[in-house]
Chain A
Amino acid sequence: MKTQFRHHRGSGSFRDLIRLSQRIRRRIAVGNRSHSDRNIRRGSGSFRDDRRANIHSLDNRDKKSLPRLVALAALTLLTAALAGCAVEPWVKPYERANLADPIMSFEREPVSGGYLNHVYQARESGRGAEGGQGGGCGCN
């Protein structure tokens, strides 16, 4: 895949994005009424133009701000999460037999894990990011 990076024409790129999102949203609304409009999304030239227009050349940014990068990464996740996105999972919900096993949980025994963290926190300076959540079967 080859993607071109070009300077953007103006500063209204985010407004464009919002407008685009609204357009997508309208299509979702249409899609809910009728299932026959899938092709609209495929061909539409305006989307391609938008794509080129919105990817900037990023080389001349100030390079001092690592925290900004971290914040950006966090924001990416937040944005994606808020958008309610879901990709086609490469591990399907019905393929989670092993992941659903309690032995695969990061926090099988919350009361015990919490206590041991407390012990380490009392005897060591290190604190935070002890981890714990996640895994599971994705069962409802």
Chain B
Amino acid sequence: MNPLHAKSLFGLLLAALLAGGPLTASAGDAKPAPAFTLPNQQQAQVSLADFQGDVVMINFWASWCAPCREEMPLLNGLYKKYKALGFTLLGVNMDENSNDAYAMLKEIPVSFPVVFESHGRVGKLYGLVAMPSTVFVDRKGNIRFAHAGYAKGDEKEYEKYIKALVRE
């Protein structure tokens, strides 16, 4: 028996294709956002729970990640535009050395709260698959939308999610 002839290989390939492409969670699924508490630049502890009742956009970023840098001023714009409607943006910096992040914030200052995670634990908790990653938490504390990465124009998608959630 020779199970590795061409037909079989083709079969394998076909099987792999049938096994399905990537699984994507549908955007409407509600899951409680895992709780975390992290220090801000002033070393005060900030919890996700502190923002209960608000729509929270959690943005995971790092100073070495070019797209993160690119979206930072845009995020600041979104924060300013919607904060009056019970919306907040919470930046979670994932740099191993927080000093790198402080330096970048000096260069690109933002007005939304930023906390610092130098051990990656919260990243694991949220199962991040890319940098940057952004999740949108509704007023009840459930994750409703998630977005991996940043490419020019993604801010429009962010805005769509924010608008949908602040209206609730």
Chain A interface (Cβ within 8 Å of chain B)?
8, 11, 13-15, 17-18, 20-22, 24-25, 28, 31-32, 35, 56, 61-62, 68, 72, 75, 78-80, 82-84, 86, 92-97, 100-101, 137-140
A21 to B151, CA, bound (A): 34
- Please determine whether A75 and B12 come into contact, CB atoms closer than 8 angstroms: yes
Alpha-carbon gap, A100 to B20, bound state (A): 30
- A-B contact number at CB 8 A: 118
- For chain B, the count of residues having a C-beta within 8 Å of the partner chain is 47
CB-defined A-B contacts under 8 Å, sample of 19: A11-B1, A14-B7, A14-B11, A17-B12, A21-B16, A21-B20, A31-B23, A32-B23, A56-B3, A61-B4, A82-B13, A84-B20, A84-B22, A86-B129, A92-B124, A95-B96, A137-B65, A139-B65, A140-B67
- A100 and B64 form a contact (CB under 8 A): yes
Q: How far is the CB of A138 from chain B (nearest CB, A)?
A: 7
- Please state if A92 and B130 are interface contacts (CB–CB under 8 Å): no
Interface SS, B side: loop
Max chain B C-beta neighbours (<10 A), residue from A56, A84, A100, A139: A139
CB distance from A82 to the nearest CB of B (A): 5
User: Is A75 in contact with B13, judged by CB distance below 8 angstroms?
Assistant: yes
Q: Is the CB of B120 within 8 A of A92?
A: yes
CA–CA, A89 and B25, complex, Å: 19
